[in-house]
Amino acid sequence: MIANGQSLVASRPLHPMFCDKRPGPGGVSFGMSEAGYDIRIAQDVVLHPFKRFSLASTIERFDMPDDLVAIIHDKSTWARRGLSVFNTVAEPGWRGWLTLELVYHRWGVLRIPAGAGIAQAIFHRTEWPADYADGKYQNQENRPVEARSSQRNP
């Protein structure tokens, strides 16, 4: 089941969280949507033929309840401009600022202003509570975070 509207507001998985859709920089909105929440990018990003990939982070801090999972999807306005935001998952119990993986598929220059809506988070209720507790990205910093190894030192 998808959590939306007042159910999503009551769960407070994001901080800050707005109960309506708001206009954003670059003509791309953010805030509550009909079936999810449009999250914002924290950094200005410029992509072009010689720099097609970038990491960025969200303005919103995630604090996922143990009965919600968020699936992050492209926002159609950016997709129509040639940008893919790789789908990622915010697990139940995960906390931190989400790192986004951005790929540009066109030949011109694409400027993404800080504060613009960048992706849509769809929140699903889990059948059983779960907890990401000790994952390698738990309490992720307020910046883009590079990949971390899953290997543990003996």
Q: How far apart are CA 112 and CA 39, in angstroms?
A: 13
Between the alpha carbon of residue 65 and those of residues 52, 57, 69, the distances in Å are 34, 20, 8
User: Six-digit token pair at 21?
Assistant: 């859709």
Q: What is the pLDDT of residue 133?
A: 84
Q: What is the pLDDT of residues 88-129, one digit of tens each?
A: 999 999 999 999 999 999 999 999 999 999 999 999 999 999
Domain spans, the chain: 2-125
Q: Band of the pLDDT at 152, cuts 50, 70, 90? A: low
- pTM as predicted: 0.93
Cβ(63)–Cβ(15) below 8 Å: yes
Give the CATH number of domain 2-125; options: 1.10.10.10, 2.70.40.10, 2.60.120.580, 3.30.70.240.
2.70.40.10
Out of 60, 101, 127, 146, the active site residue is: 101
Token pair of 28, please?
A: 């791309």
Structure tokens at 103: 């790929």
* Confidence grade of residue 62 (pLDDT, cut at 50, 70, 90): very high
Question: What CA–CA distances, in Å, run from 100 to 19, 46, 72, 86?
Answer: 23, 14, 9, 7
Look up 101 and say whether it is catalytic. Answer: yes
Q: Which two tokens stand for residue 30?
A: 């953010």
